[in-house]
Amino acid sequence: MQNHLPAGPVPVEASAGPLRDLGYTGAVQLTAGPLADRLGHAAQVYGGLSLDSVLKGFRERAGLPAPGDGLKGWSRETTEPTFGQWVSGLARLSRVLGDPALAARAVDLVEGYAATLPASGATGMGIYGWEKLVCGLVDLAAYAGYGDGLTLLSKIVQAEDFDESRRVPTGNDFGGAGPAFTPEWYTLPENLYQGYLASGDEVLAEYARRWHYDAYWDRFLTRPERGQRWDVPVWLHAYSHVNTLASAGAVYDVTHDPRYLTILANAHDFMTGTQVYATGGYGPMELTVPDDGTLGRALEWRNDTAEIVCGTWAVFKLGSKLITETGEARYLRWAENLLWNGLHTVTPVQPNGLSPYYSDYRLGWARKLPYWEEWPCCSGTYVQAVAHIPDLVYHAADDGITVSLFVPSRVQWQEGDQTVTLEQRTGLPETSQTELRIGTGRPAEFTLRARLPEWSDHTTVEVNGEPVLRTAQSGQWAVLRREWQDGDTVRLRFDCALRAEPVDSFHPSRVALAFGPVVLAQDASWAAPFSAPVPWEMDEWESFLKRKGDSLVFDAVTPGTARMATGSFRPLYEVPENVPYRVYHDLDRPRII
């Protein structure tokens, strides 16, 4: 391959330097494909919520006329648990889709809600819903230009005085709810600080300061010595213990104290190294677990393997923060994993409030089910996470652009005095390449950094059909700096192979199978499990599983039993609700029952 390279090698680097978000500038559009469909569907469902239904409980509480039907489930009294997140999600969606009607709907919700408040601004909310209301008001100002949201925010913060005798979470109070029912209090600083940065109101920063979670954050200031384990408390509420990292990130935004970036980076490595399943999901039974094989053992017993939607949202925020601050390509991997194998595997939130919640990876037999009550927490984070997808695909560097994820999309940005566009065409994950086409009125010099993904054994980069790089390096950027002409085309070709990912080091033969960025699920409806000779590292997976044409369906070569064929594999995201599947397999224990 080297012989075909033109003069001047293409460098590969781990960090692009500090990057900027582009998603919420309106510069990124997802084009035709299932992720674009997901954004459109979320806009329909959340934009279509009845104002009267969403506000009914708040109006009743205020003694105001409350026409229309209320919502069910977690929203049966009021929509307090997720109201602020719906506002946030609509404001974000309006920006990324360029749809002012969604922003107007978010404003209507907030103005309708504000009309139910007493003159004091005391919301009467619990801390959990109040924190989300703060988020909604901040995001409405940031993404919908609604400055009155910050005025209302100052008012409700001044009126608030939550009991501060809260506890540091422990195994028997995993969200720190006691003693005055202030669960997840350690997520408060994030949006209060963002509100302070947007408004300059010191009251917000002062209130944020009271809820710092140093007892947990500081555990990530140091990494374990070689051969040692992390000294981090576990058996804590998993999602909110990733979500609280957004609060540590907000402290960094306000103080620029580098210790908070260290905390984020080390917490990222702790989570991905000890808590994460092959999909990127984490938190069996919503718990962080000790690094002693509990992660793998949990697959034998529980089917609430990962709170997938909320969990995805927290990781999207962490990934965005780390990638923009450090420019290190490796911080995209967890978010990418959860995009394809978490968020994209779930049935979208329905207009009646039925929502995805847990992903189920239990051994033997698992399936996708909606949560048993309408409008749960995950209905709040679903719309936020979906709206955030475009923000992950490209980032702006001082000297150009990064292609961070491989999704059909288009981005535009300014190079000097002209607008440059980049169109990405890809059939990923089903195909193993992506094409980037530059659009520019005049030749433009800039650096295009393309991420070399971890799931590709080798990546080949071509410019206008000429190979310029072939590398086994990953988690880094291929750096293409040149004067680009209109119509120049960059193609990335990925070499993907089937691979097995053990759930933890204590269960080397309890594995999930994956291909490229996609985790595969085996058909488990009256189909035999999959096993393979151990040690399985000795064998090529292609001798056990045959790919069906160009699809991501893999049929087992071994026949199973006369009564049950060995189930075939397909992407977890293709499995419909209620159809049995298996994500994890005990390769060394072939069994039917």
Binding footprint of Zn ion on the chain (CB under 5 A): 307, 310, 377-378
How many Å apart are CA 135 and CA 127, to the nearest integer? 12
Least distance in angstroms from the C-beta of 127 to Zn ion = 17
Q: Are 53 and 71 in contact (CB under 8 A)?
A: yes
Q: Are 129 and 84 in contact (CB under 8 A)?
A: yes
* CB closer to Zn ion, 184 vs 307: 307
Least distance in angstroms from the C-beta of 347 to Zn ion = 15
Assess whether the previous peptide bond of 429 is cis (omega < 30° from 0).
yes
What is the secondary structure of 132-165 as a DSSP string?
HHHHHHHHHHHHH--THHHHHHHHHHHT------
* CB closer to Zn ion, 379 vs 456: 379
Q: Report the candidate in 564, 565, 562, 542 with the shortest Cα–Cα distance to residue 554.
A: 542
Count CB atoms within 10 A of the CB of residue 20.
Answer: 11
Least distance in angstroms from the C-beta of 443 to Zn ion = 49
If you search the block for the tokens 């927490």, which residue do you land on?
377
Least distance in angstroms from the C-beta of 350 to Zn ion = 16
Assess whether the previous peptide bond of 179 is cis (omega < 30° from 0).
yes
Least distance in angstroms from the C-beta of 237 to Zn ion = 11
CA max distance for the chain:
79
Least distance in angstroms from the C-beta of 128 to Zn ion = 12
* CB closer to Zn ion, 146 vs 358: 358
End-to-end CA distance of the chain: 50
Q: Report the candidate in 517, 469, 461, 515 with the shortest Cα–Cα distance to residue 492.
A: 461
If you search the block for the tokens 């944020």, which residue do you land on?
208
Give 421's strand partners. 412, 439
Count CB atoms within 10 A of the CB of residue 288.
Answer: 25
Count CB atoms within 10 A of the CB of residue 15.
Answer: 15
Least distance in angstroms from the C-beta of 311 to Zn ion = 8
User: In 3-state terms, what secondary structure has residue 310?
Assistant: helix
Count CB atoms within 10 A of the CB of residue 497.
Answer: 13
Least distance in angstroms from the C-beta of 378 to Zn ion = 4
Q: How many residues does the chain have?
A: 593
Quote the crossing angle between the two packed helices 83-97 and 127-144, to the nearest 10°. Answer: 20
Least distance in angstroms from the C-beta of 121 to Zn ion = 28
Q: Are 230 and 263 in contact (CB under 8 A)?
A: no
Least distance in angstroms from the C-beta of 238 to Zn ion = 10
How many Å apart are CA 310 and CA 337, to the nearest integer? 15
How many Å apart are CA 259 and CA 217, to the nearest integer? 10
Q: Are 514 and 569 in contact (CB under 8 A)?
A: no
* CB closer to Zn ion, 174 vs 252: 174
Least distance in angstroms from the C-beta of 401 to Zn ion = 34
Least distance in angstroms from the C-beta of 91 to Zn ion = 20
* CB closer to Zn ion, 154 vs 355: 355
* CB closer to Zn ion, 377 vs 513: 377
* CB closer to Zn ion, 378 vs 520: 378
Tokens at residue 464, please?
């206008």
